[in-house]
């Protein structure tokens, strides 16, 4: 009976897996939003807004394409559908990214991106206050 109980306990401990926790918490509340100057193509502008946490080596970025001039005019914009032209991305790095990591023409080779999570669907609303 002891062997059966021990075998049952071993199977219980080895078979229980709660899965991998990817991100426990997005802690970007106290970090200012930064933006890259938009690229204009055929009347539309592509904006990139981002927050970088230099302590935890992570970032959160939102890319939006619209004809509105949202950097210089206060207001509410959206909803923007997260599809081919708009997206939200979380990145985890192996070191703190530099100040020009997101707005550089060529992506820097360091730091390395360890993990990336991309949006699949949803909507984004944007409130701009200068």
Tell me, what's the pLDDT at 58?
Answer: 92
Owning domain of residue 95: 34-128
Once rounded to an integer, what is the mean pLDDT over residues 37-66? 86
Has residue 93 got a pLDDT over 90? yes
Has residue 41 got a pLDDT over 80? no
Indicate the number of domains in the chain: 1
28 assigned to some structural domain: no
54 assigned to some structural domain: yes
82 assigned to some structural domain: yes
Has residue 46 got a pLDDT over 70? yes
46-81 burial, b at 16+ Cβ within 10 Å, e below that, comes to ebbbbbbbeeebbbbbbbbbbeeebeeeeeebeebe
Tell me, what's the pLDDT at 24?
Answer: 58
Has residue 101 got a pLDDT over 80? yes
């Amino acid at each position: 009976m002891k062997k059966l109980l021990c075998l049952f306990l071993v199977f219980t401990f080895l078979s229980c897996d709660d899965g991998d926790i990817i991100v426990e918490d997005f802690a970007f509340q106290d970090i200012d939003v930064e933006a890259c100057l938009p690229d204009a193509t055929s009347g539309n502008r592509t904006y990139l807004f981002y927050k970088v946490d230099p302590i935890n080596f992570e970032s959160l970025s939102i890319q939006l394409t619209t004809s509105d001039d949202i950097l210089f005019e206060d207001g509410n914009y959206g909803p923007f559908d997260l599809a081919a032209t708009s997206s939200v991305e979380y990145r985890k790095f192996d070191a703190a990214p530099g100040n020009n990591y997101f707005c550089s023409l060529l992506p820097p080779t360091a730091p390395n991106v360890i993990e990336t999570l991309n949006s699949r669907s949803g909507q984004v609303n944007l409130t701009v206050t200068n």
